[in-house]
Chain A
Amino acid sequence: QKEVEQNSGPLSVPEGAIASLNCTYSDRGSQSFFWYRQYSGKSPELIMFIYSNGDKEDGRFTAQLNKASQYVSLLIRDSQPSDSATYLCAVNDRGAGSYQLTFGKGTKLSVIP
């Protein structure tokens, strides 16, 4: 049973601070990693994806992957109240050719003005 674990939060950070969201996964063969943002009552929106160890930056967002530790994180710099949402980590095992993404239950982020 593949598992993706996230701290449910809520994670509260002041406006302008760095928010750090973490995710661990159980399947060592996982190859693709995704971060989605989901506002309350809305559908998930893709924020970042990463395939290789290291950092990947896109604007205020940085995804970090460490396959040896089976750990992926999302950093949000200069956090804004509009970043307040639930962040979902998703993992795909490309090695098995599976189209299934295994999602964590999400971390709720609250950015305090």
Chain B
Amino acid sequence: SQTIHQWPATLVQPVGSPLSLECTVEGTSNPNLYWYRQAAGRGLQLLFYSVGIGQISSEVPQNLSASRPQDRQFILSSKKLLLSDSGFYLCAWSVGGADQPQHFGDGTRLSIL
């Protein structure tokens, strides 16, 4: 069965510091991968998705970037964090077409000081 690993679970970072969050999926090949952010009092917002190695689509322009160096690895990065980057970051996967269900990892709770 498929599993998704996301780390770290919590992270406290100062404003202006860099960020790297990693997500890996096991048990499937060529998954679609997603990064979402859930801010307090707001709905889940899609940040990036990828349908293959090196293919990244950005849904929201911001100071974040994503990369997919391997088939089952998805990385979310920032060179300089802002206070507004605080939130709950979730990685998700799906297989097949755009209409297939997405499954979430455990998430990373990011606090910016």
Contacts and interface: CB of A to CB of B under 8 A. Distances in A.
Given A45-B104, A49-B101, A88-B44, A100 B59 contact: yes
Contacts of B107: 42-43
A99 B104 contact: no
B43 A106 contact: yes
B49 interface: yes
B97 A94 contact: yes
B39 to A, nearest CB: 11
Interface string B90-101: 100010011111
B105 A103 contact: no
Interface of B: 32, 34, 42-44, 46, 49, 51, 57, 59, 88, 90, 94, 97-107
B99 A105 contact: no
A32 B100 CA distance: 8
Q: Which 8 interchain pairs have the tightest Cβ spacing?
A: A32-B99, A103-B44, A94-B99, A43-B104, A43-B107, A103-B43, A105-B43, A99-B98
